[in-house]
Amino acid sequence: MPVAIKNLTARPLFVSLNSGTNLRLSSGEVAGQVPDVELKNNSKIEKLISQRAIAVESQTKKAIGGTRDQASRRIRARRG
């Protein structure tokens, strides 16, 4: 399930993921659609969470914007 990572500090952060890639997050920036396997058993991320430097939230289809059917209904409703 994808997760969102938010920088809670006033400075930029580099977040190391399990795949070896790094996320650069500006102050208040949110990185969405990060696979949760990138965070499992990652001591650096656990440390950032314990320091309250980042917040991690799971994303569901509702949080992302609904299902495809709901989006197409909204588009059709706007067209009239």
* pLDDT tens-place string over residues 16-65: 999 999 999 999 999 988 998 988 999 999 999 999 999 999 887 554 44
Phi and psi at residue 73, to the nearest 5° = -65, -40
Query: Exposed/middle/buried for 6, CB within 10 Å: 0-12, 13-18, 19+?
Result: middle
Residues with Cβ within 8 Å of 71's Cβ and at least 6 positions away in sequence, in order, are 65
Model pLDDT for residues 4-13, shown as the tens digit of each residue: 999 999 999 9
pTM for the model stands at: 0.70
What was the pLDDT predicted at 4?
Answer: 93
What was the pLDDT predicted at 63?
Answer: 47
Tokens of 40: 């499992």
Which residues, in sequence order, are bridge partners of residue 22? 16
Q: DSSP character for 28?
A: T
